[in-house]
Every structure is written in structure tokens, then in C-alpha cells.
Structure 1
Amino acid sequence: MGDSSRDPSLVQNLKGHKKTINALRYLPNQRDLLSCSDDHNLMLWNVSTKDARSFKFSGHTQQVTDLDYTSSRNLIASCSYDKTVRIWEPTVKGSCTQFIAHFSPVRTISLSPTDQQMVTGSNDKSIKLWNLPKKKFLNSFTGHNNWILCARYSIDGKYIVSSADDKTIKVWDPATKECVLTISNAKSSALKLSMHPNGTSIAAAMASGSVRVYDIRTKKLQQHYILHNKANDVCWHPMGKHMLSCGDDGSIKVLDALEGRPIYTLNDLANQFH
């Protein structure tokens, strides 16, 4: 029998948003947590204290769909259905700058590991690359033929991975602006993507409810988990041995990627583990 004291348990219950939460990010200090919501706001939570002190950042006029942060310049980037990208200072005042990024709602945003570039994706079917310090448009990646659902940098910055409502996943080389790999999913679209820390595989949260892991080198499906009614997000643990997924069934699944199986189901209501 394993050590039950190491099993996951609920530590804090954070309340502040009034509508659906669309994205979460831990800051590098592992003390502060960022969230964004359909209520048009971002919140910064200090989860190192029992009362989880929070700050609310308001400015977007429609739902905030995604966010990211810079580790070196201490800035927060967010995107929204209001077609804008905002760059925030994570201070009490929460001042920001904004610019129109696309002609349609912006669904996804990701910052390069160097914090010098930013990639955004939109319902206008385009993925755009930006110079972050100058907030200047650099280039578009074209090839998807429907709404862009997710775009993410790899940890080493060598690739950008994207998914769209055309049921494809694409891997881009930001240096050459070329698509180096296309993965087709005949029955479902990938709502969110997460690249393995070593850059060799992509985890995809599928609208069909499954989580799929694709090997970039062999261009083949590596693992397939049936987990939710709809899988809303997936992410790799920094060590690359485990994944987390969440779904519209209200559960979070912890997956052992080495053994290829789910090991926990976290459910705040039932608090039951598999």
C-alpha cells in the first residue's frame, strides 16, 4: 500500500469570479496564481496565505479567454473576445496597455520563453506573432481553415503548436515561419494543447472528452485516455511524468504518463479517488 498522506487533497477554495474560469497560471514564485473568466476580469491570487488575498484587474469588455505571464519582465498578457490583447503590470493599481490584435475574438495567447515574442490565435483563423516589448506585429502563420482554439510555445521556444476547429493540430517553426507537422483528428478538435517539457510530444484535450498524446518524431498517436464528456484543458507536470486534465464534468484527472493510466480523480463534491 502507498503512503495515503501523499494523496492529493483540497487545500483552498478560491472564490471571486462570477462566471466560467477559462485559464489558470502559476507565477514563477509559486506563490501567486492568475485566473481569467467570462466575467471580463483577471484575478491575481496569493495562495501562500490562508485567506488567499486577491486583486482584480478590470478593463476587457468581453470574456477573457486566455492569459500568460513574463518571468523576466513581470508582466501579464491577456486576450479577449473584445478582439484586444492587454499587457498588465501585476501591481495593486493593475495598469495596462492594450492593442487590437485581430479582426475577431482572440481565443489564445502564449509568450516565448525569452519573453521577447508573443503568439495569438483568433476566430479569424489566423495565428499572429508579435514583438512583445514593442507590441509590434511580426508575422502570420496560415494553414488552419477554421477558428484557432489554442497556440502554445514549447518550453525551449523551438516550436509553436496550434489547434483549430478544423480538427487539426499543427507544429510551426517560428524561425522559418513554416508548418513542420500536421496531425489530423477526423472526429474531434483539440481544445487545448500542452507540449512535453522535452519537446518530443504533445498532449491534446479533445472536444470528444479524451486526452491524446502525439509523438512529434514518429508523427503517431502515443497514448489515448477516455476521461471526460468534454476535455477542457490538459497540462504536463514540469518533470514530464504526469499530466493533469479537466473536463466539463467538473473533475480533474491526474495521469501517470509513464504507466499510461489515470491514477486519481479529483472531485470537490465527491472527493473520491480512482
Structure 2
Amino acid sequence: MIELVQKYNLEGQGHQGPVNVIKYDLSGEYCLSGGSDRTIILWKPSTNKQIKQYQKVHNYEVTDLQIFKDNSRFISCSADKNIFIWDTKTGNIIRKIQGHSYKVNSICMNSDESVIVSGSFDTCVKIWDLKSRSNFPIQSIKVSKDSISKVIVEDHNILISSIDGNVYNLDIRMGLLSQDNFNSGIQNLAMSHDKQTYIASSLKSTIYLVDRNDGDIMQQYSGHKTSQYHTAIQYYWGDQSGSEDGYLFLYDFTKGTILSKIKNNNKSISTIAMCPDKKTFLTGSLDSKITYWDIK
């Protein structure tokens, strides 16, 4: 039986508002968090140590982060429509990427870190060449009828979720766009490790496990609350989900039943980050807390 043990909240001068995103580096030793206070913080969570703050360069909330494999740089995006590439050590901005007309909700790099894919409230997906200094995207594709909530790059495919109720698969090589419809806004998305399935979190408080090959819904998970805020989902051996009422849910992957339901705090859990060692994870919430958890 898997047990989730809440250890401690990360201390120090942390975020002064909702925590929107947490991302571990490849080693699992460090992580970055981004918040509605426009601040990005570098942490060493296992020792409860804050390393550095990157403060208020964005004009509005930080919505997503990506860390380069060698940790020398990271990428942030924001409700201010901008995407910034940072030098981790100095805190300097190396490059500014602009092109979306509204809030940028999600960013993702391909495996060789040569391109950034971004998804926005403007319903467009844009692809940016990191090897070029051009201010124009390689491609700009209007995908959905409503805000794009998440983009995931996998080989030559981009998986895209939208508040219009669809998850889209964009095959860049073939120029093909397919979609799976859920009749409710999809506010978050995660890909399985074998790339054969994905989980999509809807605004009807249901998570769907979907076969990528044919779009069949293999399982549904309900019990958590997601009707208004962006809440977190994460693959593990089961599925993890945050909830608007402050609970953390662990679902049985195959049966769809609730294995564990733990009260974290009184505010919505907005982000979950699994450590690469699969032994610990972090949650961030709307009341500014980042919580460190053990998996037993």
C-alpha cells in the first residue's frame, strides 16, 4: 500500500501569493517555483533551503517553467505574454521571446532542447527555434476555439489541451491535427512515461485516462474538485491529483478508485512536481505554500 507522508512546508521568504508551477531539475536535487507574485525561486527541497530568487521581471504572474538539462538556463512564461530565457547562475535574461497576443499558459521543449513550444490564451500554439535569434516563430498554428491550457512535446507530435473541451494531437512532420473531445474544458494534461496514454483533467471534476492511439477512454477518476481553478495532476504508479478544496488524491491507476485522500491546507493545490527518484514530490497551492512529501 502506498502511503503519502506530508513532511514540511518549504521555509524562507517564499512566494507572496499562489504558487502556479514547480519543476524539478533532472537530478532531483533542485527545483524552481513560479508564482502569481511574479517571482521565480530556486530551492533545494530535500534540505528545505532556498538558493536564489529571480524577482519581478515579468509584469504579471509566472505561469510555467522549463529547466535545461545542464541547469545552466531555464525558461519562464507569463500572463504578460512574454517568454524569457534566463541564466540560472547570474539571474540575467539571455533572450526575450514575444509573439503571443494574450497570456502564455504553457511552454515545453523538445528532447534535444532545440525548440520551444508555447500555448496561449490566444488559442495559438507557436514553435520557436532556440538556435536562431529570430523574433518570429517557426510556426504559428491556431488550434482551438478557446484558451490552450497545456502543451507537451513528444518527438514530432505536440499534445495540446484546451478549455474548448478537446485534447489535440498535432503531427508536425505530417501536418495533421486530430482531437479527442470530452465535452468539458480540459485544464491540465500529463503524458505517461511510455507515451502510450495521457491523463486529462476536466472542469467537471473528472480525470480521464486516454489511449493515445485510438482516443478511447480507458478509465475515469473522480472525487476531487476541479470546476474553477487550475489544479494539478501527475502520473505515478497511480494518478495523483490536487483539488480545489485543498485535498490531495491518489487514485488506483487501473481501477479508478481512491487510494488516499489527504488534507493539505484550505486552498487549492495548483501544482504537483514528482522528484525523478519517485520517492518524494512537491505540491504548491493558492495560499503560497510549497509542501514536501515522502512516498512510503
Alignment CA distance shift 1:246-1:72 (3 Å):
same
Give 1:72 shift. 4.1
Residue 149 (structure 1) aligned with residue 149 (structure 2)? yes
Residue 243 (structure 1) aligned with residue 239 (structure 2)? yes
CA distance in 2 between partners of 1:121 and 1:207 (Å): 19
1:16-45 C-alpha deviation (Å, 9 max, x unpaired): 111111111111110111111111111111
Alignment CA distance shift 1:68-1:213 (3 Å):
same
Of 203, 207, 213, 1:211 maps to 207
Alignment CA distance shift 1:123-1:153 (3 Å):
same
Residue 233 (structure 1) aligned with residue 232 (structure 2)? yes
Alignment CA distance shift 1:120-1:257 (3 Å):
same
Residue 56 (structure 1) aligned with residue 59 (structure 2)? no
Provide the residue aligned with 2:76 in structure 1: 78
Provide the residue aligned with 1:139 in structure 2: 139
CA distance in 1 between partners of 2:225 and 2:86 (Å): 35
CA contact (8 A) 2:125 2:143 kept: no
CA contact (8 A) 1:72 1:115 kept: no
Give 1:13 shift. 0.5
Residue 260 (structure 1) aligned with residue 259 (structure 2)? no
Of 60, 69, 87, 2:85 maps to 87
Alignment CA distance shift 1:135-1:233 (3 Å):
farther
1:49-93 C-alpha deviation (Å, 9 max, x unpaired): 2x42232112111011111112146321111111100111222x3
Unaligned runs of 5+ in 1: none
Give 1:164 shift. 1.4
> With structure 1 as the length reference, what TM-score do the two structures score?
0.87
Of 166, 179, 201, 1:168 maps to 166
Tell me the C-alpha RMSD between the 2 structures. 2.0
Residue 184 (structure 1) aligned with residue 181 (structure 2)? yes
CA contact (8 A) 1:121 1:127 kept: yes
CA distance in 2 between partners of 1:36 and 1:55 (Å): 12
> With structure 2 as the length reference, what TM-score do the two structures score?
0.81
CA distance in 2 between partners of 1:78 and 1:227 (Å): 32
Query: Aligned AA for 1:226?
Result: S
Provide the residue aligned with 1:20 in structure 2: 18
CA contact (8 A) 2:77 2:104 kept: yes
Provide the residue aligned with 1:118 in structure 2: 116
Provide the residue aligned with 2:277 in structure 1: none
More contact order relative to length (CA 8 Å, sep ≥ 6): 2
CA distance in 1 between partners of 2:261 and 2:122 (Å): 36
SS in 2 for 1:11: strand
Unaligned runs of 5+ in 2: 267-292
Count of residue pairs the alignment pairs up: 258
CA distance in 1 between partners of 2:73 and 2:254 (Å): 35
CA distance in 1 between partners of 2:234 and 2:132 (Å): 30
Provide the residue aligned with 1:221 in structure 2: 217
- Between 1:60-69 and 1:97-106, the stretch displaced more is 97-106
Identity of aligned residues (%): 21
CA distance in 2 between partners of 1:236 and 1:199 (Å): 12
Alignment CA distance shift 1:55-1:33 (3 Å):
same
CA distance in 2 between partners of 1:191 and 1:44 (Å): 26
Give 1:264 shift. 1.7
Query: Aligned AA for 2:91?
Result: G
